[in-house]
Amino acid sequence: MKAVVYYDMKDFRLEDIPVPQIGPGEILVRVKACGICSTDIFKAKYGKAKPGSVLGHEISGEVAEIGPEVTDFKVGDRVGVLHHAPCGACYFCLRGQEPLCDQYRRGGVVPGGFSEYIRVLPELARKTVLKIPDSLTYEEATMTEPAACSVRALSHCEISPGDRLLVIGDGPMGLLLALSAKCFGASQVIMSGHHDFRIRIAEKLGVDYAYNSQKVNMGDKVKYLTDGRGADIVIVAVASTAVVQEALKMTREGGKICLFGDFRDVPQPPVQVAPDLMISQNKALFGSWGCSPRDYQTALNMIKMGRVPARELITHTFPMERFQEALNLMEKKGECLRVVLQLQGV
């Protein structure tokens, strides 16, 4: 089978590798589409991926083969595959903190979504493979995993009716968060970013207020829109500690700041937080990463109902042979949002 194999940021090769062999409880999925996540870029750029490995985790496809003991799926089923499955019984799982579970962190697709076939391990086959309806394209179904991460973050924010929420970052995830926040009870959603193309899409798709922060003073805008108090909730959807400092200033007393951008692989100075912000101003600072099987199911439901405009968020698709071109486009940002790799006659 064909796979896009990583060797270096500028060295992804389309190679022939063996089709994975499956065992009891496992599924072989013929990958039809796989979204390219900023995490894939970070892993490649900062040497966090092993040379010779296959990346990709926003996966949709069809069941090509089922192993013994698989009863919930049949060959030909259209499916989305979440690449992490919690054990459901450890200390963290029992407290609703599934991404901290040891089993969850190991992952469970072989070799990765940028290949024509993947082997889905038993724990995933039981918990995190969902059938997708014919009404959704395979490309749209790749939006389920990123939407699930947004669902988890918004759930952690514990939005109350009437809350005014600010999302900092106009990337695909920032836009997903902003568009989904209304479903969780926010009465007003503000988004800031640096790209006019993305700001226009946000406004078109229903974000209440979207601004280019290089052209307007976001501190003044947020104060004006929140009666001088500041946002009830701020979600930082970029990996910048400087932006975290700005978020702290734009959050009202008693408000919440959720760190969502992936800081793990980006060199950053530490965040300096004055204790008074947490004490007398009673601001809460927390993070959100990953998603649970329940979040994944919720996200799929939101996409099916049209609450997440998956089709409108996908701006570019590429065949496997043009993977490096797709990656270069994402690095430049500008006039793109979600970029999806198409495999095997989608």
Q: What is the dihedral of CA 305, 307, 311, 316, to 10 degrees?
A: -150
**Residue 9 pLDDT:** 84
Nearest CA among 144, 137, 170, 206 for reference residue 335: 170
Split at pLDDT 50, 70, 90, the class of 265 is: low
Burial zone of 239 (CB within 10 Å; 0-12 exposed, 13-18 middle, 19+ buried): buried
Two structure tokens written together for 62: 């069809």
**Residue 345 pLDDT:** 60
**Residue 208 pLDDT:** 97
- Please determine, for residue 54, whether its predicted confidence score (pLDDT) is greater than 90: yes
Nearest CA among 138, 165, 124 for reference residue 77: 138
SS (H, E, C) the chain: CEEEEEEECCEEEEEECCCCCCCCCCEEEEEEEEECCHHHHHHHHCCCCCCCECCCCEEEEEEEEECCCCCCCCCCCEEEECCCCCCCCCCCHHHCCHHHCHHHHHCCEECCCCECEEEECHHHHHHCEEECCCCCCHHHHCCHHHHHHHHHHHHHHCCCCCCEEEEECCCHHHHHHHHHHHHHCCCEEEEEECCHHHHHHHHHHCCCEEEECCCCCHHHHHHHHCCCCCEEEEEECCCCHHHHHHHHHHEEEEEEEEECCCCCCCCCCCCCCCHHHHCCCCCEEEECCCCCHHHHHHHHHHHHCCCCCHHHHEEEEEEHHHHHHHHHHHHHCCCCCEEEEECCCC
CA distance 324 to 118: 21
Q: For residue range 203-260, what is the model confidence (pLDDT) as tens digits? A: 999 999 999 999 999 999 999 999 999 999 999 999 898 999 999 999 999 999 999 9
Buried b vs exposed e over 2-11: b needs ≥16 C-beta within 10 Å?
bbbbbeebee
- Fold observed for domain 149-287: Rossmann fold (3.40.50)
Answer whether 128's CB lies under 8 Å from 202's CB. Answer: no
Give the least confident one: 101-110, 129-138, 262-271: 262-271
Two structure tokens written together for 158: 């514990």
Nearest CA among 302, 315, 299, 306 for reference residue 201: 315
**Residue 40 pLDDT:** 85
**Residue 273 pLDDT:** 84
**Residue 274 pLDDT:** 82
Answer whether 130's CB lies under 8 Å from 296's CB. Answer: yes
Answer whether 213's CB lies under 8 Å from 166's CB. Answer: no
Widest distance between CA atoms in the chain: 62
* Secondary-structure class of domain 2-143+308-342 per CATH: alpha beta
Compute the average pLDDT of residues 264-285. 82
- Could you tell me the residue ranges of all domains in the chain? 2-143+308-342, 149-287
**Residue 119 pLDDT:** 98
Residue 83 carries which side chain, given as an amino acid letter? Answer: H
Percent of the chain clearing pLDDT 90 (strictly above): 83
Compute the average pLDDT of residues 146-157. 97
Nearest CA among 155, 283, 179, 177 for reference residue 238: 177
**Residue 48 pLDDT:** 80
Split at pLDDT 50, 70, 90, the class of 272 is: confident
CA distance 258 to 236: 6
**Residue 346 pLDDT:** 53
Residues 6+ away with beta carbon under 8 Å from 259:
236, 244, 285, 286, 287, 288
Between the alpha carbon of residue 208 and those of residues 164, 182, 229, the distances in Å are 10, 10, 18
**Residue 10 pLDDT:** 85
**Residue 58 pLDDT:** 97
Q: For residue range 278-317, what is the model confidence (pLDDT) as tens digits? A: 889 999 999 999 999 999 999 999 999 999 999 999 999 9
What average pLDDT does the chain have? Answer: 94
